[in-house]
């Protein structure tokens, strides 16, 4: 399943990237700078959207099939002004010292990790005081009870088909629970995507400065 998922990931998202995702990625990454960590970087869809102010980028991806494609994308995206390091670290156990990064990035990742609270605690640990988390995630519907009911029905099969992806996560609440303050938040429907994954939340959260 891992190989098939990796091969099909970019084609599956292509129409959605064109419709909205590429623009949303640029939006949430636009103000980042310095030393940045991206968890669950997949095939590297975010790489072309990082601003020049990001001078060192660590991209982690534990899935070997995804990581092979990520390594190719990272080599192509590396410039004299930016170092890109690829890691196989799982998000629940990041092998980095505390207060290492200026910012962290999570896009379409927190739906798949087995322990989102643990992942967010690790992100908070490796961020410097006042560091930012840029996030873009599909979530449980909070405005349409009938859609939420369908998400719950479909989730067991979808989780198997989509490499562990859960449809009913309340990610914004989990970010707050991890001690972050939400500074900017946008909820929107992910166009050209299956109806059960359309509800999304994106924005910037900040770790306390002390």
106: domain CATH number is: 3.40.50.150
- The answer to whether the CB of 169 falls within 8 A of the CB of 116 is yes
Residue 79's contacts (CB-CB under 8 Å, 6 or more residues apart) are: none
pLDDT number for residue 2: 66
Low-confidence spans in the chain with pLDDT less than 50? 1
Question: What gap in Å lies between CA 130 and CA 140, rounded to an integer?
Answer: 28
Is the C-alpha dihedral spanning 113, 118, 124, 125 positive or negative? negative
Single pTM value for the model: 0.95
User: What residues pair up with 87 in beta bridges, in sequence order?
Assistant: 60
Backbone φ, ψ for residue 129 (5° rounding) = -55, 130
Number of structural domains in the chain: 1
Residues 153-208 pLDDT 10s: 999 999 998 989 999 999 999 999 999 999 999 999 999 999 999 999 999 999 99
Q: By residue range, what is the domain housing residue 134? A: 2-206
């Amino acid at each position: 399943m891992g190989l098939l998922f990796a091969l099909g990931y970019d084609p599956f998202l292509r129409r959605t990237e064109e419709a909205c995702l590429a623009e949303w990625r640029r939006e949430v990454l636009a103000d980042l700078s310095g030393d940045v960590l991206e968890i669950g970087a997949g095939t590297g869809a975010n790489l072309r959207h990082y601003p020049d102010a990001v001078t060192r980028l660590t991209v982690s991806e534990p899935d070997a099939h995804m990581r092979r494609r990520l390594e190719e994308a990272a080599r192509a995206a590396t410039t004299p002004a930016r170092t890109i390091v690829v890691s196989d670290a799982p998000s629940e156990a990041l092998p980095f010292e505390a207060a290492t990064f200026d910012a962290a990035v999570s896009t379409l990742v927190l739906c798949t990790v087995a322990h989102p609270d643990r992942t967010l605690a690790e992100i908070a640990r490796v961020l410097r005081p006042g560091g930012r988390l840029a996030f873009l995630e599909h979530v449980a519907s909070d405005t349409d009870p009938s859609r939420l009911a369908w998400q719950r029905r479909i989730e067991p099969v979808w989780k198997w088909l989509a490499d562990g992806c859960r449809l009913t996560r309340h990610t914004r609440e989990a970010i707050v629970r991890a001690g972050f303050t939400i500074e900017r938040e946008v909820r929107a429907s992910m166009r050209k995507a299956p109806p059960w994954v359309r509800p999304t939340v994106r924005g910037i959260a900040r770790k306390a400065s002390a």
